[in-house]
Amino acid sequence: MKLDNAQLLLDEQPISIDVLLEKYAKGDEKTVDEVRRRVARGLAQVEKPELRDVWEKRFYDAMVDGFIPGGRVNSAAGTGIAATLINCFVQPVGDAITGVDNGVPSIYLALNQAAETMRRGGGV
């Protein structure tokens, strides 16, 4: 039996709404819809000016249909803050305690780099 979209969607749970708003609402945003609209508008800004409205609607519709952007996207898109929207970074680690091993950072250097990535809001 094939399910239609209405059967696939779950009702929004109050705790989920509270967490989303607590973590991602900016400024005067008070509803999930306001967060979604800001994020969609922010993501559409990289498109050609004449296509931005089309992409904003696509991004918004995707979120209404259940797509949840990563934390960095929800947090920064559409805020005007110069921040990365990349959620996670690959951190190479060489087989040495200090220095660089075959062009790859040592354990301590990689730890330092990972700490800086996390300080700026990214994940490793």
pLDDT band at 6 (very low <50, low <70, confident <90, very high): low
Question: Do 21 and 60 have their domain in common?
Answer: yes
Count the domains in the chain: 2
Tens of pLDDT along 29-78?
A: 999 999 999 999 999 999 999 999 999 999 999 999 889 999 889 999 99
* pLDDT tens per residue, range 59-70: 999 999 889 999
Domain that holds residue 52: 10-76
Q: List the beta bridge partners of residue 104.
A: 101
Asked whether residue 72 falls in the same domain as residue 99, the answer is no
Q: Is 121 left (phi over 0), alpha (psi -120 to 50) or beta?
A: left
Percent of the chain past pLDDT 70, that is, above it, reads: 93
Rounded to whole angstroms, how far apart are CA atoms 117 and 103?
19
Q: Are 22 and 60 found together in one domain?
A: yes
Same domain for 69 and 14, yes or no, is yes
- 96 and 48 share one domain: no
